[in-house]
């Protein structure tokens, strides 16, 4: 998608600190970490909102959540973590390509 920073990261046009990649998702370090471990888990397909989920995308998001659970030790999140999906203006979403924030590596305040 034109001018989408995460599509550019997925395409390798912008560098990122990738920690995991497969055929349908990539996980890399957030450039402005809000916790000791702050990763962004990004489905490679470009869409912005949960309201855009059809059956195939819902299954993709489900597999993405499953994969996060499988990778938690490897990602440094074995002691617990928070998954955040910002949606729209009131949530402060700044990148309009669906992504899951993975926060952990320390005790998190609410």
Answer yes or no: are the C-beta atoms of 48 and 3 closer than 8 Å.
Answer: no
Catalytic-role residue among 38, 97, 99, 101: 99
Which residues would be at the binding site for ligand 5GP (CB under 6 A)? 5, 14, 16, 28-32, 40, 86, 92-95
Question: Which CB, 4 or 53, lies closer to ligand 5GP?
Answer: 4
CB 77 within 8 A of CB 104: yes
- Reply yes or no on whether 99 is catalytic: yes
Beta bridge partners of 43: 25
Residue 14 has a CB neighbour count (10 Å cut-off) of: 11
Binding site partner of 97, from Zn ion, ligand 5GP, none, Cβ cut-off 5-8 A by kind? Zn ion
Which of 30, 14, 11, 35 is CA-nearest to residue 110? 35
In the complex, the residues that contact Zn ion under the rule CB under 5 A are 1, 4, 6-7, 46, 97
Q: Cβ of residue 60: shortest distance to ligand 5GP, in angstroms?
A: 18
């Amino acid at each position: 998608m034109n001018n989408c920073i995460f599509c550019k990261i997925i395409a390798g046009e912008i560098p990122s600190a990738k920690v995991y990649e497969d055929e349908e998702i990539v996980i890399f370090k957030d450039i402005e970490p809000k916790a000791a471990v702050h990763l962004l888990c990004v489905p490679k397909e470009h869409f912005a909102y949960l309201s855009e989920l059809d059956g195939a995308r819902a299954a993709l998001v489900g597999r993405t959540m499953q994969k996060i659970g499988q990778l938690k030790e490897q990602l440094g999140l074995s002691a617990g973590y928070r998954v955040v999906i910002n949606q729209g203006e009131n949530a402060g979403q700044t990148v309009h390509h669906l992504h899951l924030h993975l926060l952990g590596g320390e005790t998190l305040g609410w």
